[in-house]
Amino acid sequence: MKIDIRTVRDVTILDCSGKITLGEETISLRNTAMSVLQGGAKKVLLNLAGITYIDSAGVGELVRTFVTAGNNGAKLKLLGLTGKLREVLTITKLLTVFEVFDNETAAVLSF
C-alpha cells in the first residue's frame, strides 16, 4: 500500500492506494496515522479512492485509526469509498460510524 500525505487548508489528507490487508499494509496505515496525529494534526481525511482490496484486518485498522484519532482529540473522516469498500462498511454497520464523503471539497469544508 502507498500513502501520500498532503494538506488542504488545515486538513491532513492521507491518499491511500493499493490494498489494506494483514501485515505490512495495516502496519503502514497505523504508523502513518500515528505520525500525523503525533505531529499535531486534528483534522484527518483518509482518501480511500485508490484502495483496491481490504480484508478484515484492514477494516479493523480503519476502526483502530478512528479510535486513536478520537483519543488524541482529532477527527477522522473517510473520502472516496469504492463500491466494494462501501459494501464492506455497510455490511459491518461501520458506515454509520464513519463520516463518509464522495467529494474532497465537501469533506474538507465539513471539518
Answer left, alpha or beta for residue 2, where phi above 0 means left and psi between -120 and 50 means alpha: beta
Nearest to 14 by CA among 52, 59, 62, 56: 62
CB 53, CB 20: distance < 8 Å: yes
Please write the tens of the pLDDT for every residue from 52-109. 999 999 999 999 999 999 999 999 999 999 999 999 999 999 999 999 999 999 999 9
Burial label, 50 (beta-carbon count in 10 A; 0-12, 13-18, 19+): middle
Q: Which residues pair with 17 in a beta bridge?
A: 2, 50
Q: Which residue has the cell 500513502?
A: 3
Question: What pLDDT sits at residue 48?
Answer: 98
Q: Where exactly are the structural domains of the chain?
A: 2-109
Question: What pLDDT sits at residue 10?
Answer: 96
Question: What pLDDT sits at residue 111?
Answer: 97
Please write the tens of the pLDDT for every residue from 88-101. 999 999 999 999 99
Q: How confident is the model at residue 51 (pLDDT cuts 50, 70, 90)?
A: very high
Per-residue cell: 68:
486513536
Burial label, 28 (beta-carbon count in 10 A; 0-12, 13-18, 19+): middle
What fold is seen in the domain 2-109? Transcription Regulator spoIIAA (3.30.750)
Q: How confident is the model at residue 19 (pLDDT cuts 50, 70, 90)?
A: very high
**Average pLDDT over every residue of 3-17:** 97
